[in-house]
Structures are given as structure tokens and as C-alpha cells.
Structure 1
Amino acid sequence: MSNAIKALKANKLKTSLIVLSLIFSITSIFLITSISNGVISMYSTMLKSDGDIIITQRKISDTFFSNIDINLIEKLNNFKEVTKASGLIVGATIVEELPIVAVYGVTTNRFENYKLIKGKYPLKQEVLLGKSIFDSLKNKNEVLIANKKFKVSGVFQSSIGFENGGVVLNIEDASSIFNKSASMIMVNCKIDTNISKLSDKINQLDRNIEAKSTTSFVDNYNQFKIIKTSSNVISFISFCMGLLTIASILSITINQRKSEFGIKRAIGVPMKKILIQIINESLILAVISFFIALFISNIALYFIKNSSLLYGYVNGEISLNIAFFIFITSILIAILGSIIPALNASKTDPIILIQGNKI
């Protein structure tokens, strides 16, 4: 290990280039993974906050496109297993000068989900604003939503970025904006309820609806799968970029050190020891780069989370699982990036290496 550290100090320029490449790749993977997980976490938390069962339109790819009859709530309230059934419209539209803002139309029995910090819950033609949106508006009394004026009744604060940067209004008002009855219905059940059996019972009410347990819905939601897949693809591209960059720089570095390796081979240093030294050098750089990238990523995520331009819609936190996964990824980048040039150097005839011919 001491020889590896000495070698890195002796090649400061190449060492710096490798560290910068690793930091860029690792930071990219950190941000992509944590932001995509943050988006999924926020939306799934919002859905899980109220309801054991979620009812949406059957065979719909996204809740934004779902449209079910709000009158279904009356039938659900007649089920002995149901303690509460509430309607929700989710959409996005222009609010004042803001190009895209999350809008939630809710039945009155869902208002309690939004923690008031000012004012009261909205009546018809009134809206409740998330704190992030409220702070950004010049006119605090009225707000223009999709060319319709609404009086601001109050302000709420939520730890969920989508909600804190959104507006809440009565489901009737949201219905007129988005031309739908309800995007979904959330059903709360008694403690001893068999969720699976109740879901089947609800599905018999209308062949155009699909009732699932909230957990099952979140686990199988298509948009979450798309986000995760996109995140994995982009992370893999970052991984490959880092791998190729490190392999290229190490090849140049090792080529410049061919005389050193040739002398070592000539005096009897085994091939295995040369390989281990080169890999150790890469591992040292990987560990250093990982912690620098972790520090940079946390700073970047802090500014992203608190940016007034994003209204809390983009959020990401680095969990221990993510950090461990990316640490292993960093080690793999370093080992794979170094092993090919290391093998090439260790197998070359020492006489050729000492003479200075190309590896």
C-alpha cells in the first residue's frame, strides 16, 4: 500500500485527472439515483398518507389520466368494512405565471391531511396554497389557476415537496378545471379487514375501475418503474464513462511507467505484486473520490431541495443503502478501469519495458 501511495504522489497530474473523472462519475450516479428515489418516495408517501385501498380507472398508465365516478363513494360508505372514502383529483396546470404546478382537488374529508399554518380550509371558489407557492406569489389574496380566479383561503405546509409546492381546492372546482369526476378514490378500512377480499368486492361495483391495496398499487405503479429504469440506464452510462476515462488515463500513466515495471520484473518482482500495486492505487483513488463526491452530492441536493425555482418538486436524500451501493460501484469502476492496463503491463517482457518500447 505504501508503494501505491508513493506512485500516486509521483504522478500528480494523472492522479488528479483520475480523481476528477471518478468524482464526476460518482457524483452523477449519486444525484441521479437519489433524485429519482426522492421523486418516488414523495409520491408514494403522499398516496400512503390516507387510504388502505386505492381505486383508479382500469388499465390506466398514470393517475393523471384516470377518471372514475365520484358517486362511487356513496356505495363504498355502505360497506361495513369502510371507515372513510375520499375522492382525489391530481393534475398539473398554469398557476399565475408559474408554467406547471401540481393541483389537488379533494373531498372535504381529506382537508385534514393538510396542516394549516395560516387561514382556513377552502370553500367553493377558494384554494389552499402550499407554503412554497404562497411565498413566491406577489398577490397573496387571489390566484389565477387555468384562467380561473380563486380566493386564497389559507396556507399549509407539508414535508412532501409535491404538496408543499401545490394548490388544494374542492374536488368540484378541480373537476371543472380538468373535466373529470375523480382521479382516484382512497378507502380507509377497519383494522381487521381483509384488504384483498374487499378489493375484489369493490371491483364488482364497476367493470371500469380497479381497486388495489395501497402497497400493491405503489409497488406496481408504472411511472415508478419508468423512473427507476431511466435512472438505472443513466447511472449505467455514467458508470461506463467513468470506466473508459479511468482505463484510458491509467493506460497512459502505466505506459509512462514502463521502465519502472520493467526493472521490477527484471529484479524478480512477481507479476502478481505489480498487479496488486496498480489495483491498490486505483482503490485509494476510488475511496478518496467517493467521499469527495458524497460531500459534493449532499451540498448539491441541499440547494436543489431548497431552490425557490423548483418549489420542492425535486428532492433527493442519500440513504445508507444508496451510499453503500454507490461505494461498491466506485470500487468496481476503479478495479475494472485498472485491471486491463495492469494486466498488459505485468505480462510484457521486462527487456522490452526497460528499452522503452510501447506496451
Structure 2
Amino acid sequence: MILYAFKALAANKLKTTLIFASLIFSIISIFLISSISNGIITMYSSMLKSDGDIIVTQAKISDTFFSNVDINLIEKINTITGVKESSALIVGASPVEKLPIVAIYGVTQNRFKNYKIDKGNYPSNDEVIVGQSIFEQLQNKEQIQIANKTFKISGVFKSEIGFENGGVVLNINDAGKIFNKSASMIMVNTKLEANTDKINNEIKKLHNDIEAKSTQNFVDNYNQFKIIKTSSNVISAIAFCMGLLGIISLMSITINQRRAEFGIKRAIGIPTSKIVLSIMYESFILGVISFIAALAISNLALYFIKNVQSLQGYVNGEISSTLAIYIFITSVLMAIIGSIIPALNAAKTDPVELIQGNKI
């Protein structure tokens, strides 16, 4: 059956190539959309998780960009039993030279250790360190303007997290003056044996206008991540449907051209189920080969996207094994479902009509 399926595909080279191309483009679309959205979520999650076990933000805010927490709460949080260390972060964005938008991070002194200096030194007041991918694009490598203030570049850092490697880091006091806030969030690092739920409750008692969550809980329930995931799923579903319609159309044309073949099979007693199964075998083979080709092309595309200088490292796709399995199943289903409708239509048609060449 498998050997016959390969022969059937080889006998219809043009239609097979068109179906193959349709499948590849659809699968690549799903791969890129899903992997890039996962990459964005992973980068931001990694940045937050590197700082601690609990995140404190302003209560009832939709995004950390709008959060404003009193940085002085750090002193009180550090006195809670089980707390090892706390740090604060201001998250903002600003145009820099020709770059339309650059991530700006204002951090407390104890968070500078998260940024591995490639050259220069950590910043003092009125100084910044810049990510490697940003530094390479700057015309003026001595100083940088953020909003209406000019800062000296004291060093260049390198980070595996694209958002950071394409960003600017400065003292939180300087960032507070630019963005007019105390802190976007406070990250709390707890001791190994500490009860994080108990610490969360203790932190919430410090102020009525704050919210404390475990880092994992924050990431799982962050509104922007939900929006990204939902958008990704919707666009992937559209790509799937478009690919499916294209395959159904092409399979209908291909099977219509093979009507005499199916008519002869029906006439000599080959059951409908066996004819449909043979076409499904062909579709399965196409689905598997298309998936392998799309996976290779997607990885290559993601590599180039990651290294495009103009994207500043903000776009970084990630193809996990779970995603690959999900898309493999999607690819096979797309190919098989796309072939079932025209296959059933052909197999159920009267053999005499098929042999005579009437349309399906």
C-alpha cells in the first residue's frame, strides 16, 4: 500500500508538487507564528524568573508598564521571615537615535549582577549600560539620549535574553525621573525553605494598593501573555484553514483526473474503503514529508530572524518538542482531512460514470 502510494504521487508530479507547496507554506506559517509568540513569552518570563520567587506589582493593572509601586517597600519586605533579598525594576520604552523603540530598564544596585559586562563598567548616576545588539547600531557610542536627558555610556553588556540584549539599563533613580514612577515591580528572592504563600500574604498587608504573586503564577496569568497566545492560536487556525482549503481544491483536481483509475478499481470489486485508504496513505506521506521540510525551513528562518540587526533581538522564536509534536499532528491531519472529502466523493461515484469521464 505504501509503495503504491509513492508511485501514485510520482505519477502526478505537478499536482503533488502544488499540494506539497501548499502544505509547506501553511505549516511554516503555523511554526513561525507559534514559535515567535512562545519565544516572546519565554524571554520575558526568563527575565522575571532570574530575579526571584515573588513579584510585587500595583494592584489591578493590565500591564507592568502601568504599574507603580513604592520602592521603599523593599526595606519592609526584607524584614519578613524567609525573604533573602529584594530588588526593584522600572520597565519603560523610548526611541533612541534612529531606533523607533528601545526597552529601558531602571534597576536597583543589587540587580546589576544579572547583566554580564562585556566591556566598561556598571553605571553610576547619569550613566547607562547598553545591550550588545543596541550598541552595534548606535552612531554615538559615547552617550545616549533617553527622553529629554543625555546619559553617558559606561559599559556594554551581553545577555541571552533578547529583550535585555536589545535594551538600555540605568539606575532606578534616573529611570524614575524619566518615567515619573518609583518602581514598576519589586522582585523578592526567598530562602529555600521559605513558605512563599505565607510571604505573599505578609507582603499584601504592607499596602492596600499592591499585589503579590509567585513568579510562576504571575507568568501564567499575565494578561499580555494571554493576548499573545490567543492571537497566535487564532492566526494559526486561519493558516490551517487556508491550507486545508487549498489542499481540498488541489486534491479534488488530482482525483478528478484519476477518475478512470478509481472507476476501474470499483468495477473489479475493490471496496470504497480501500480506495479511500489508499488516498489517505498518499496524503499521510505528503504530510510527513511536508512537516520535515517545513521544520528545517522554519529553523533556518528563525535563525536569520534572531540575527537580523534591525529587530534588536526582540524577535526570537523557539520551537519546543511539544510544539513540534503538535504541529506534526496538525500537518498530518491537514493533509488527510483535505483528501477525505474528494476521496469519498470519487469512491462513491458510479464506476460507469467515472470510466465515461463524467465530472465528480
The two structures share one fold, judged by TM-score above 0.5: yes
> Quick one: distance in 2 between partners of 1:57 and 1:148?
27
After TM superposition, the structure 1 = structure 2 runs for residues 3-152 of structure 1, keeping only pairs within 5 Å, are 3-152=4-153
> Quick one: distance in 1 between partners of 2:320 and 2:130?
30
Amino acid at match of 1:243: L
- 1:266-320 Cα distance to aligned partner (Å, 9 max, x none): 1111111111111111111111111111111011000000110111100012121
What secondary structure sits across from 2:208 in the alignment?
coil
How much has 1:95 moved relative to structure 2?
Answer: 1.4
- 1:147-166 Cα distance to aligned partner (Å, 9 max, x none): 31100011110000000000
Amino acid at match of 2:58: Q
Aligned to 2:181: 180
How much has 1:81 moved relative to structure 2?
Answer: 2.2
Q: Give the TM-score normalised by structure 2.
A: 0.98
Aligned to 2:288: 287
Instruction: Indicate if the aligned counterparts of 2:57 and 2:69 stay in contact, CA closer than 8 A.
Output: yes
> Is 1:351 aligned to residue 352 of structure 2?
yes
Amino acid at match of 2:292: F
Aligned to 1:211: 212
Amino acid at match of 1:188: N
> Quick one: distance in 1 between partners of 2:110 and 2:59?
25
Aligned to 2:316: 315
What secondary structure sits across from 1:309 in the alignment?
helix
- 1:95-141 Cα distance to aligned partner (Å, 9 max, x none): 12211000000011111111111111101100010111111112111
> Quick one: distance in 2 between partners of 1:34 and 1:156?
26
Q: Structure 2 stretches of 5 or more lacking a match?
A: none
> Is 1:258 aligned to residue 265 of structure 2?
no
Q: CA RMSD in A?
A: 0.9
How much has 1:9 moved relative to structure 2?
Answer: 1.3
Identity over aligned residues, as a percent? 70
> Quick one: distance in 2 between partners of 1:58 and 1:244?
46
> Quick one: distance in 2 between partners of 1:97 and 1:179?
24
Instruction: Indicate if the aligned counterparts of 2:80 and 2:199 stay in contact, CA closer than 8 A.
Output: no
**Worse-superposed segment, 262-271 or 154-163:** 262-271
Q: Give the TM-score normalised by structure 1.
A: 0.98
- 1:193-234 Cα distance to aligned partner (Å, 9 max, x none): 110011011101111000111111111111111111111111
> Quick one: distance in 2 between partners of 1:169 and 1:233?
38
Q: Structure 1 stretches of 5 or more lacking a match?
A: none
Displaced runs of 4+ in structure 1, greater than 6 A? Answer: none
After TM superposition, the structure 1 = structure 2 runs for residues 294-333 of structure 1, keeping only pairs within 5 Å, are 294-333=295-334
> Quick one: distance in 1 between partners of 2:18 and 2:148?
53
